[in-house]
Structure 1
Amino acid sequence: MKTFITISTLGLVLAASGSAFAAFNDGNASQGASTLGGFNGPTQGMINTVQAALESSDDTPVTLTGHIVKALGKKDYLFKDDTGEITVEISHKRWQGQEITPSDTVQIVGEVDKDWSERDIDVDTIRKL
């Protein structure tokens, strides 16, 4: 009897859990596409220029392509693209052994850090292109 109750309970839990793991779909995705799940719908525009980053709010995600032109301190660097310059903060572990010079084009991914009167970028990843 205990085995029957255990198996029945397990069956109910497994049947109910299938809908709990379903991903949101706004109906615009093709029905034949196989995905790993997740959100499929409108997204906020990606910030991809220094000028746009300088006008963004705190914690806005950014992906910037340009050049690190000089070191400003222990973890701070001056980053430049065609639209302007901004300070980026790159911790030592983010370099991952890469040696980057001012002539190298890089892509940085991070978020805007807005303080009282200035904005900079906290870098999560940096990649030489």
Structure 2
Amino acid sequence: MNRNIQSIVVALFMLAGTASAANAQTAAYSAPAAATPTAGYAGPSSAGGYAGPSGVGVTTVKQLLATGFDDQYATLRGKLVRYIGGKNYVFADSSGEMRVEISHKYFPNSQTIDANTLVEITGEFDREFVGQSELDVKQIRIISK
């Protein structure tokens, strides 16, 4: 019985820490509201980086959600159509939509991305068996405005 109570207390502290971190992120980040995705975001990014060919081929949202595996690196080409809070956006291509998580540090420096900007995103796929799978984006490249 004592071990169960201890596990519950630890879980509550972990949840409280996650909520505090989420609140801190929300307070420090002023992104467009979900109702106004065309405002875009112009955020900091490290200058430079690798721009050559990649072994990670471009796939589609539908294909990634159907056959992707946890921790797989994937590249998608489409648009960030909606901001949904925190680091989360809805990404869409011609095959469908999915949730993506993008830290502000990965947005291109001094360039605004809105719902009409064609981008290529690369990141780590987080396969969820309960809940929504998402792509944890590590790189954004603007294809066209």
Normalising by the smaller structure, the TM-score range is 0.5 to 0.7
Residue in structure 2 matching 1:119, options 133, 139, 143: 133
Question: What is the DSSP-based 3-state SS (H/G/I as helix, E as strand, rest coil) of the residue aligned with 1:111?
Answer: strand
**Which residue number in structure 2 is paired with residue 48 of structure 1?**
59
Q: Which runs of 4+ in 1 moved over 6 A?
A: none
How big is the shift at 1:74? 1.1
| 1:128 match | 142
- Within 5 A, what are the aligned runs for 1:1-129? 46=57, 48-55=59-66, 56-97=68-109, 98-117=111-130, 118-129=132-143
Q: Deviations over 1:66-121 (max 9, x none)?
A: 00001011100000001100000000111132310101100001121122322100
TM-score w.r.t. the length of structure 1 is 0.62
Q: Distance in 2 between the 1:54 and 1:115 partners?
A: 10
Q: Is the 8 A contact 2:108 2:141 kept in 1?
A: no
Amino acid in structure 1 at the alignment position of 2:124:
E
Does the residue aligned with 1:68 lie in a helix, a strand or coil?
strand
Q: What letter corresponds to residue 50 of structure 1 in structure 2? A: V
TM-score, reference length from structure 2:
0.55
* Post-superposition offset of 1:60: 1.3
Structure 1 residue runs without a partner (length 5+): 1-42
CA contact (8 A) 1:67 1:104 kept: yes
Structure with greater contact order relative to length (CA < 8 Å, sep ≥ 6): 2
- Indicate the SS of the match to 2:59: coil
Which SS does the other structure have where 1:101 is aligned?
A: coil
**Count of aligned pairs between the two proteins:** 86
Partner Cα distance (1:47, 1:106) in 2: 12
Superposed displacement of residue 53, structure 1: 1.2
Is the CA contact 1:113–1:119 (under 8 Å) kept in the aligned structure 2?
A: yes
> Contact 1:108–1:123 at 8 Å: present in 2 too?
yes
Cα distance in 2 for residues equivalent to 1:94 and 1:80: 18
* Higher gyration radius (CA): 1
Decide which structure has greater helix share: 2
